[in-house]
A and B are shown apart, each in its own frame.
Chain A
């Protein structure tokens, strides 16, 4: 028999034959593995997600990260792990709530519950050792949590994880994650050989013995689940003919930089951007590439600019606080027309803010954050695949326009794992070796073509091209500007090339009907959640479409015309805006979402906004409610 939901009656071990009959089949399912920090829930979740992807499920994984490396045990604030949403067909976002959770203690379960992470009726596989712990205080904490949760319809299954693991390992903190992986492998019928391959990869720097012990723990988990659980979950898989790869956004950025032929990444450690340099650090040298860990964020920008000036375009990668520090150098790169790619993996701000959490609050700073007039390009990929390709695009634009290209991703993309079509690598994506042929007689270092604002770049080593690049206002010969019209002309040339570039962009495509009631506009990592919400809203009969922008500066063309086809236009973003109903807020003083500011300024359309800074990705169900509230007359199309 196939049921639509796990049976809620069984709390005790049952016959395996019964479990194989209780198969809950669903088009999508969301799993969380949460533990104290340092217990390895993330590794478990990552491997589970990767194997699901390899077997033909759509997958989206996000990390649940505490602020500290190893906060005290059993604290709700220390919950660490992964949410893995799997589906039949592509999964583009983390969804609404979790259907099944493996929790290593009741406190992390409570933390997730309080964050409204669990679906009604969710199944929780919970480590049981705390119920009978020697410490009375812990037993009381357990009781209190059980009491609080008893008012909800979760099905909590107590699992003797530690007891079982101690038959193989001495330190129970090392091993539960593989036991949990074993339970999940059985529940979702994973190919154990694929799981073992992933374990081998995860522990590639450890001994054979470590690998063997982890496989043993995995098998313990499989056995326990087979003997004790009375249901399994089937999310039908659609293995594709197409070659697919699966990775997170930071890995995609790293590989994209390699595919773009870049050879130097300069960085300073900052969450959540640093893992790009971890991935690069591991492989970049095989491509002749250098990851330079600079003494600070400012130096990282300077080294990248120095390298770009002397040859191939280099890049620097950071997050909000680092962007703030690099600002002066970005202005220098714009002024000297030195190509530079900057990746900003956005996190919550301002200041140190929410280092591990998603936010889209750096948009206006990225576009306008450089004192003086500093026209450049800002783009934001919306998917993991987009992260890969954005580096190739950014490198090419930076080189062609001789300017700064800022790639805005965020913590959601950085840690989100999603399979995508394996790119067909093209040598044309890569920067050619620097042209060091002699500069033609009489050419000037800023010989701006008035039709395009573009000029040819001279590189040290080119005979006859010697000049001094300067951040001072300068003329075509790179001589310091002393006459009144020099600066006006140079500024207009730097601006013109961006306008010319904008003319080469295609208008964005509307998702859903090309005209109608409500148009929701988004940018960056929210695309999957917004489009899922559009699908659901349209299924309800609401007249809703969405528009997702990749280029934020310059904006893609035709936006104003698209807006004119809808009764109402609003943005949905992960940044702060005043609630229109909040005290003191008026139409005049209301601070709006950052894309809304930008679109209002550019189009003179009364673009509304709905934004939140909850430190988590947007949930499609929440966006759907916003769409309902913003469609006129109940939103019939």
Chain B
């Protein structure tokens, strides 16, 4: 997302204001203790303060699920809509009001199960917004059902003898969508990486898809434990055109230089499941953005009437 362009809706007074993290804090989060969503919330508030986004010109759109409560905890505009349908709402907002900063927060079921069609097409529309998929690999709010990213064999309430099918790979799938312009993966338990990724996503001109691996202490607490205990099971993709987190180098020895302009390499890396890869797989700002192709001048009521009268002439008897 580009830096907040001052549109006709800006007022000069905005320049006087300075926002701290507390300016973006709303209701006290009601997530479980130890929920990974909390880290994402904090990181996001830090990003907004860093970028000095005007709260009234920032909109968080979400679907339904634990993570979709996110907008309630942000002191910006928020739209907590339907399960799976955050992206169409965000599309409507951005199409009608391109000057607004739009962030979309979805869960794994929300984004790639019930909302899968919208995920594919929103990626293709490539509108300038940040789309976060908070992936705890389970349906949490409805209490422990398999999601498309639950690993095969993992027992849940709906598949108690183990999840039947191999998990979907959202990064690989997104990289396969025409016009996908930014695809990244990060983990909430590595705050510097999370923050750097969110920042890169925000600064990207186009649709920035970020999968955030996220612990659910209630139902999938054990799933990510191995990556936390053994940093060698994580590989950081680093590049000056992607994200670089030198502060993590002492812990994360497993690093790969990956140019996010290389789509073939990105797809290959996304497909391999030997380790968990974090970083920007792909970014390209040259792709067409839907809201730009549809950008139009606005007219006064009188101007419209005069054009409409011309139009009526075509139908005149």
Contact = CB atoms under 8 A, between A and B. Distances in A.
Interface string A459-499: 01111111111111000000110000000000000000000
Contact of A461 (B97, B120, B307): B97
Interface stretch (B164-172, B193-201, B308-316): B308-316
A296 B117 contact: yes
B69 to A, nearest CB: 9
Given A246-B317, A427-B301, A295 B95 contact: no
Interface residues of A, number: 71
Contacts of B312: 245, 255, 422-423
Given A425-B308, A462-B56, A468-B71, A310 B92 contact: yes
A296 B117 CA distance: 8
B97 A310 contact: yes
A283 B311 contact: yes
A430 B54 CA distance: 30
Contact of A302 (B81, B94, B314): B81
B85 interface: yes
A462 B11 CA distance: 11
Interface stretch (B180-188, B223-231, B237-245, B291-299): B291-299
Interface string B63-94: 01000000110111111111001011111111
B89 A306 contact: yes
A292 B95 contact: yes
Interface stretch (A9-17, A259-267, A511-519): A259-267
B79 A302 contact: no
Contacts of A312: 96
B89 A466 contact: no
Contacts of B61: 306
Interface string B108-120: 0000000001101
A299 interface: yes
A472 B69 CA distance: 11
Given A314-B92, A468-B72, A246 B304 contact: no
Contact of B89 (A283, A290, A303): A303
B77 A460 contact: yes
A596 B91 CA distance: 41
A422 B313 CA distance: 10
Interface in A406-456: 419, 422-423, 425, 427, 430, 432, 436
Contacts of A336: 79, 81
Interface string B149-180: 00000000000000000000000000000000
A243 B80 contact: no
Contacts of B299: 287-288
A307 interface: yes
Contacts of B314: 201
Given A296-B117, A302-B85, A310-B59, A460 B97 contact: yes
Contact of B72 (A288, A294, A436, A480): A480
A287 B97 contact: no
A251 B311 CA distance: 11
Contacts of B55: 466
Nearest to B290: A292
28 contacts: A53-B317, A201-B314, A246-B315, A247-B315, A258-B308, A264-B92, A294-B121, A295-B118, A302-B87, A302-B88, A302-B91, A305-B81, A305-B88, A307-B92, A307-B93, A309-B92, A310-B59, A328-B82, A336-B79, A422-B312, A462-B56, A463-B56, A465-B56, A468-B72, A471-B64, A471-B80, A471-B81, A479-B27
Contacts of B274: none
Interface size of B as a range? 35 or more
A285 interface: yes
B97 A245 contact: no
A576 interface: no
Contacts of A422: 312, 316
Contacts of B315: 245-247, 251
Contacts of A29: none
B96 A314 contact: yes
B121 A288 contact: no
A31 interface: no
Given A255-B308, A288-B296, A460-B59, A243 B316 contact: yes
A311 interface: yes
Interface string A297-334: 01111111111111110100000000000001100100
Interface string A73-88: 0000000000000000
A470 B77 contact: no
B307 A286 contact: yes
A580 to B, nearest CB: 42
